[in-house]
Amino acid sequence: MVLPNVDVHIHQLENGLTLLVEQIPHVRSASFSISLQAGCAYEPANRRGLAGIVLDLMTRGAGPRDNRELNQALDALGVDRSETVGVMRLEFSASMLARDLPKALELYADIIRRPHLSERELEPVRNQALQDLESLADDPPGRLLVELRRCYFPEPISRDSRGDFEGVRSVTIDDVRNYWKQFLRPRDAIVSIAGNVDWPHLRDQVEELLGDWPPESIPPLNIEETPPRSRHIQEEVDQTQIGIAYPSVTMDHPEYYAARGAVGILSDGMSSRLFTNVREAYGLCYAIRATLGLFKDRGAVVCYTAGEPHNAQELLDRTLHEIRRLPEGVEEDELDRVKAGLKSALIMKLESTAARAAANSSDWYLLGRVRTLNEIQAAIDSLTPQAIVEHLRRYPPKNFTIVTLGPQPLKWSND
């Protein structure tokens, strides 16, 4: 498979913002991702949920337009958009016809730099945030994963973006405006664009829209390096929820692709070990999966499954057995399947300007550079069963953090 040679133009603004532009001439669309260092980890401890409220209010009136006028302007351009609160970053994403990209960027420059942050809009936004928190009561898997994150990662990167009831109810409009002023800054911001675009014109427009944005410093994040802990949440539910987390490598580690391949053998697709050897062979669960979660400075494999309470202990035991036996060996056909899946995902990303914009932004944030498609393909092709096994022997699955939610606590050993 020969992938197209794609170049990403990189332009650093004096205020610390990085512009990434990937030209894709054969498409008619364009997409962008604007990523800012203002995620929920930066919230005051007594205002958890503040970042999400700020993000929502920013899109409810900006520049010369009120809430209704701003939404009408975006809809008139056919903008498909979303906003996301992450642990470390806030992100605005949008896709549209390439011809409408300049107008869309003008609107988003207002949203980011000149939001109204109207006090009148605060209560509707707060109510939506509270409803989002209340919905967790009917979502045992969601609550389990929130608690697993809280138990495995240290404060404040253990936080859930939804915050908590006390924090959301306590947010004032002054909190919102102060957070926006302090953290919505261009330093370390990333604007990633992909599509059928004119690079020189786009570079000049972004300089005009964002170049004079004041580069004030963002306070450093203080991470409390506390050890992970396991726990059981006693609750009468139809299915016992099980979450498992254990250390892995970061994206800039030389063995990142071996780690990704190992997780693929464990969980990618209906031929993976967890699906075949736990779900299909014993009928112990419906959902079972493992993913590789990444921060800049740490990685973790996170597993989730759930089963009927009377089968829950066996489900946990068999899941841990499959994870622990990974270093014993990897079959060639297992790896071929994982490689095919990774390459398929790579090709699919080529068809989506939104996926390309997001991937380039993620690369820049986690690696400080953008990987080429051929580099990724070469790394996938170079994977061998031996390389994965050697990686797993150097970084064996162990030191499990396990969180369960159900009628009865479960037993396990970290030996």
**DSSP labels, 56-90:** HHHTS-BTTB-HHHHHHHHHHTT-EEEEEE-SS-E
pLDDT at 308: 97
pLDDT band at residue 4 using 50, 70 and 90 as cut-offs: low
In angstroms, the CA 396 to CA 323 distance is 9
Same domain, yes or no: 282 and 204? no
Query: Does residue 19 lie within any of the structural domains?
Result: yes
Give which of 192, 215, 5, 212 is closest to 91, Cα–Cα: 192
Residues 166 and 261 in one domain: no
Query: pLDDT at position 219, please?
Result: 84
**3-state SS assignment for residue 92:** strand
Lowest mean pLDDT among 108-112, 198-202, 216-220, 402-406: 216-220
Cβ atoms of 263 and 293 within 8 Å: the answer is no
Tell whether 80 and 148 lie within a shared domain: yes
Mean confidence (pLDDT) of the chain: 95
CB 143 within 8 A of CB 399: no
pLDDT in tens, 86-102: 999 999 999 999 999 99
The answer to whether residue 3 scores a pLDDT higher than 60 is: no
| The one-letter amino acid at 391 | H
Same domain for 190 and 291, yes or no, is no
Q: Provide the residue count of the chain.
A: 415
The residue behind tokens 């990897």 is 330
Mean pLDDT for the stretch of residues 360-384 = 95
Q: Across residues 147-171, what is the average pLDDT? A: 97
Q: How confident is the model at residue 348 (pLDDT cuts 50, 70, 90)?
A: confident
Phi first, then psi, for residue 239 (nearest 5°) are -130, 135
Cα 120 to its chain centre, rounded Å, is 31
CA distances 187 to 58, 161, 260, Å, are: 19, 22, 31
pLDDT digits (tens, 9 = 90+) for 312-321: 999 999 999 9
Sheet containing 90-97: order of strands? 8-12, 18-23, 190-195, 29-36, 90-97, 80-85
Residue 383 near residue 336 (C-beta atoms within 8 A) = no
CATH number at residue 19: 3.30.830.10
- Average pLDDT in the 217-234 region? 92
Question: Above 60 in pLDDT, residue 252?
Answer: yes
Same structural domain, 319 and 357: yes
Query: Does residue 53 sit in the same domain as residue 179?
Result: yes
Average pLDDT value for residue range 6-29:
94
What range does the domain containing 12 cover?
A: 8-210
Q: For residues 17 and 112, state if they share a domain.
A: yes
One domain, residues 194 and 237: no
Token digits for 228? Answer: 């992970």
Count structural domains, the chain: 2
**Residue 415 confidence (pLDDT):** 64
| Span 264-291, pLDDT tens digits | 999 999 999 999 999 999 999 999 999 9
